[in-house]
Amino acid sequence: MQNQLDNRVYAGFFVRLVAYLIDSLLATIAVAIVKMPLSFMSLAGVDALKANFLFQYSILDVFTYIGVVAYFTLLTYYTHSTPGKMLMHLEVVTTKEEWTFLNILYRESIGRFLSSLLCIGYIAVAVQDKKQGFHDMLCDTYVVYRDMIGCKAKKQDTSWSADGKEEHNRESFGVEETEYADQPIHSAFELTESHPIDASAVATEIPESDEPESVGTKPENSYDGLNPDSSNLYQDNNKTE
């Protein structure tokens, strides 16, 4: 099974640490319940269960290790996650063409053993760009957020012209080029200057009247309707002249 990593957010060190602690607690409880009959047999006097079976490890120790590995391997293979990862909304994905059981078993057994050496493999999660531990690097797996999608911002392409003005690339802002994109934009002042208006074409001739204006004629814009005394003032002015 192939999982795409496009726009996925990688899980960091601390959130994975919390998920691992939760899974370790649940795995220990589950294994303790399963091996309870063997524990009772060991307490009853069956010394073979306490004797060294593999180096300094007894049968109970080997059974505990197998139970913990089975917990992580089966849950990760079938659900791409574990209860601890589910609580933190995480999942395990890969870029390989197939999601194989052997690859997950190798990740949860040998891969985790190598990561646990001085905890260097787990500390690598904090410094890696893709937040991979040694067990992730060996099996080409990634731990990402299940319901979170990252957005990559477009990088603004800024250039500087010869006169020191800032210029932006059209593609960086998503502007589509059109047939009018390269045409310069003129202001109203530039249009007026490039296309001057002939004043003679706009001006209209005012006809001159041959009849002289009489002195006693009352102007057209008289204010007699507004001020009743304006006619008297007008007559007084004529007498004075």
pLDDT interval class at 192 (50, 70, 90): very low
3-state secondary structure 69-124: HHHHHHHHHHHCCCHHHHHCCEEEEECCCCCCHHHHHHHHHHHHHHHHHHHHHHHH
Instruction: Please give the backbone phi and psi of residue 96, each rounded to the nearest 5 degrees, phi first.
Output: -75, 160
pTM over 0.75: no
* pLDDT at 122 exceeding the cut of 80: yes
Percent with pLDDT over 90 in the chain = 40
DSSP assignment string, 169-228: -TGGGTPPP-TTTTSPPPPHHHHHHHSPPPHHHH--PPPPPSSPPPTTPPPSS--TTT-T
Percent with pLDDT over 70 in the chain = 59
Q: What is the pLDDT of residue 108?
A: 95
Q: What is the pLDDT of residue 124?
A: 93
pLDDT interval class at 2 (50, 70, 90): very low
Q: What CA–CA distance (Å, rounded) separates 206 from 200?
A: 13
Taking only the tens place, the pLDDT of each residue in 36-92 is 888 888 777 777 777 777 787 888 888 899 999 999 999 999 999 999 999 999 999
Q: What is the pLDDT of residue 176?
A: 45
Q: What ranges do the domains of the chain cover?
A: 8-149
